Amino acid sequence: MVLNAFEAAGIERERLTTVDSGKVDEALDVTELSESDVYEIEESEYVRKADVDEDEKETRLQGLKDQLAATEGEEADELREEIEELEERISELTEFRSGRSFHESATGG
């Protein structure tokens, strides 16, 4: 009767019959039950994007580029290659990849 009255007033039945997760957690603290006994637990993998200090990255690259501008010949070619490798590495480290693509590339799948 109580649920019917609230339902007639526009309150969904689920709002009145759901479990308070805070109270469940309190009950778990005082019983021998584990979270997996009362919750459906699903594991998932993810890759967290590395924190990158953009200013530091730009400063280092600019330092190499300045050095390159003042250099000629074979040494300049080596610096260009180093800059390109660093830019590729930074891009690779900071791009977003789902856990699935990371896992597949790590396992060769």
pLDDT digits (tens, 9 = 90+) for 31-88: 888 888 888 888 877 776 666 667 777 777 787 778 777 777 787 788 788 888 888 8
Element (H, E) at 99: helix 99-107
The domain segmentation of the chain, as residue ranges, is: 2-38, 54-107
Comparing CA positions, the residue from 52, 22, 24 lying closest to residue 37 is 24
pTM here is 0.33
Q: CA-CA-CA-CA torsion for 100, 102, 106, 109, nearest 10 degrees?
A: 40
Residues 97, 45 contacting (CB under 8 angstroms) = no
Q: Cα(1)–Cα(9) distance, rounded to whole angstroms? A: 12
